[in-house]
């Protein structure tokens, strides 16, 4: 028997740490600080938490991370889980929290993620970590590190659909424009398409400004059953739909370099929500590299396949466009904290639906989509959230 989780749970608390170079704060401390801020936002204490979901950080990994963190915080949950789906982790965590609450396993779930790869790892250590995503027999011997894999996908999209470097660059320019309106963003100085194209080539055709930041930081949310949502001080944000798609681990096994599993996770989320792409007031999509955002916009149905380049070029992803994208600045300009990176897309979605986005606020926002991706275009998760008016 299947259960439709639409409207079953709500996010009633959220917390974010600062982002950037945060020396002296390890991944555990960042998880704890984000959790503390989320608890304050929800006006509850750690004694109220009976569910916990974390992800294993790169800098301070633990075999049983969630259990370690529950011990650290002195939280004693009946539901305790460590997840790892790369950049999709945060959204898979929300789905599992909703399932645990609906099935009566727990009542109040804390999802907290944090890491400090910027200050806690050397460049060589970061490179070594990234190579662990590559197949040791069929990829590593041929010099295909993570960034080159995304460069291959970008070049394939250019070849198949005529997408240009200028169109990729527009994704970065738009993200920076949104970040300039966000006091919490790491990079706020405006950039131009020429700035992107004149930045160092990292993995052809990707330039340095086509690539996401590398940051320290953490974020957290509190999830409860929908019937309890109004017991908390801030405007609740309701779970409407979620879907996942997992096609491969290693890029050489990918079905396609230009179509992603977002083409499955998105429709699954929309079906659960009873909504479609045109119903979304905004979207936060995974932008570890600019071509990824374009492919996801296509696969999620915001534009036709192959038209992503012209779609972003025509201003559709701006705050004034048809679907404002990455209103906080995204991984390209707000921050990229590794596996926890999508947490800031989630907290930004909550901010937009609460109507507290300040200068970057999307007017009358009632429903939004957030999408995460892990590995090298590997694991995808799509989450749709809305206000009470969408129930």
Q: Any idea what the CATH number is for the domain that residue 352 is in?
A: 3.40.47.10
The structure's pTM equals 0.96
The Cα diameter of the chain in Å comes to 57
In this structure, what token pair is assigned to residue 55? 């992800």
Do 56 and 200 lie in a common domain?
A: no
If one counts the domains in the chain, the total is 2
Do 23 and 153 lie in a common domain?
A: no
Answer yes or no: is pLDDT of 132 > 80. no
Three-class secondary structure of residue 380 per DSSP: strand
Do 230 and 302 lie in a common domain?
A: no
Q: Is residue 182 part of a domain?
A: yes
Q: Give the number of other Cβ atoms within 10 Å of residue 2's Cβ.
A: 4
The reported pLDDT for the residue numbered 2 is: 61
Do 284 and 164 lie in a common domain?
A: yes
Give how far the C-alpha of residue 257 lies from the chain's centroid of Cα atoms, to the nearest Å.
Answer: 21
Answer yes or no: is pLDDT of 122 > 90. no
- Whole-number Å distance between alpha carbons of 74 and 69: 8
Q: Is residue 257 part of a domain?
A: yes
Which range (201-205, 255-259, 303-307, 375-379) has the least confidence? 375-379
For the segment 315-347, what is each residue's pLDDT rounded down to a tens digit?
999 999 999 999 999 999 999 998 888 999 999
Which pLDDT band holds residue 142 (cuts at 50, 70, 90)? confident
Do 223 and 158 lie in a common domain?
A: no
What is the arithmetic mean of pLDDT over 37-41?
A: 98
Answer yes or no: is pLDDT of 119 > 70. yes
Give how far the C-alpha of residue 353 lies from the chain's centroid of Cα atoms, to the nearest Å.
Answer: 16
Domain that holds residue 181: 143-213+240-390
The reported pLDDT for the residue numbered 143 is: 72
In this structure, what token pair is assigned to residue 78? 């009946």
- Smallest Cα–Cα separation from 240: which of 347, 388, 111? 388
% of residues, the chain, pLDDT over 90: 88
What is the arithmetic mean of pLDDT over 173-190?
A: 98
The DSSP code sequence of 166-177 is: HHHHHHHHHHHH
Q: Is residue 3 part of a domain?
A: no
- Smallest Cα–Cα separation from 350: which of 20, 49, 2, 38? 38
What is the arithmetic mean of pLDDT over 136-141?
A: 82
Do 27 and 114 lie in a common domain?
A: yes
Do 30 and 110 lie in a common domain?
A: yes
What's the sign of the alpha-carbon dihedral 375, 170, 186, 301? negative
Q: Is residue 130 part of a domain?
A: no
Do 220 and 337 lie in a common domain?
A: no
CB contact at 8 A, 298 and 307: yes
Which range (63-77, 136-150, 180-194, 280-294) has the least confidence? 136-150
Do 54 and 20 lie in a common domain?
A: yes
Answer yes or no: is pLDDT of 1 > 50. no
What is the arithmetic mean of pLDDT over 166-171?
A: 98
Do 190 and 230 lie in a common domain?
A: no
Q: Is residue 138 part of a domain?
A: no
- Surface-to-core class of residue 271, CB atoms within 10 Å of its CB (0-12 exposed, 13-18 middle, 19+ buried): middle
Do 98 and 170 lie in a common domain?
A: no
| Pair type for strands 108-115 and 217-225 | antiparallel
Which pLDDT band holds residue 280 (cuts at 50, 70, 90)? very high
What is the arithmetic mean of pLDDT over 145-163?
A: 93
Do 167 and 261 lie in a common domain?
A: yes
Q: Could you tell me which residues are beta bridge partners of residue 110?
A: 52, 222
Q: Is residue 163 part of a domain?
A: yes
């Amino acid at each position: 028997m299947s259960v439709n989780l639409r409207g079953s749970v709500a996010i009633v608390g959220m917390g974010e740490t600062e982002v950037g170079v945060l020396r002296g704060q390890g991944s555990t401390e960042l998880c704890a600080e984000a959790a503390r801020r989320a608890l304050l936002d929800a006006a509850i204490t750690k004694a109220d938490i009976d569910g916990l979901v974390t992800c294993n950080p790169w800098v301070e990994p633990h075999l049983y991370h969630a259990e370690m963190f529950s011990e650290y915080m002195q939280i004693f949950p009946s539901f305790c889980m460590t997840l790892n789906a790369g950049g999709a982790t945060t959204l898979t965590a929300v789905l599992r929290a909703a399932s645990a609450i609906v099935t009566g396993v727990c009542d109040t779930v804390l999802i907290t993620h944090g890491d400090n790869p910027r200050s806690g790892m050397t460049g060589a250590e970061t490179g070594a970590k990234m190579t662990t995503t590559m197949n040791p027999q069929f990829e590593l011997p041929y010099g295909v590190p993570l960034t080159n894999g995304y460069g291959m996908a970008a070049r394939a999209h250019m070849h198949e659909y005529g997408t240009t470097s200028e169109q990729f660059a527009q994704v970065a320019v738009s993200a920076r424009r949104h970040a300039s309106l966000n006091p919490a963003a790491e990079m706020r100085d405006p950039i131009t398409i020429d700035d992107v194209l004149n930045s160092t080539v990292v993995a052809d055709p990707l330039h340095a400004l086509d690539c996401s930041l590398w940051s320290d930081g953490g974020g957290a949310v509190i999830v409860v059953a929908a019937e309890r949502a109004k017991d908390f001080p801030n405007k609740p944000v309701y779970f409407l739909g979620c879907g996942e798609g997992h096609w491969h681990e290693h890029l050489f096994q990918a079905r396609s370099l230009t179509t992603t599993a977002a083409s499955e996770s998105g429709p699954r989320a929309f079906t659960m929500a009873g909504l479609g792409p045109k119903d979304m007031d905004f979207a936060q999509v995974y932008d570890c590299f600019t071509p990824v955002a374009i492919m996801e916009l296509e696969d999620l149905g915001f534009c036709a396949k192959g038209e992503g380049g012209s779609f972003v070029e025509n201003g559709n992803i701006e705050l004034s466009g048809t679907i404002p994208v990455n209103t906080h600045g995204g991984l390209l300009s707000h921050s990229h904290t590794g596996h926890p990176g999508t947490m800031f897309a989630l907290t930004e979605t909550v901010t937009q639906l609460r109507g507290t986005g300040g200068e970057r606020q999307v007017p009358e926002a009632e429903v939004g989509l957030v999408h995460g991706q892990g590995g090298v275009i590997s694991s995808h998760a799509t989450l749709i959230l809305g206000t009470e008016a969408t129930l």
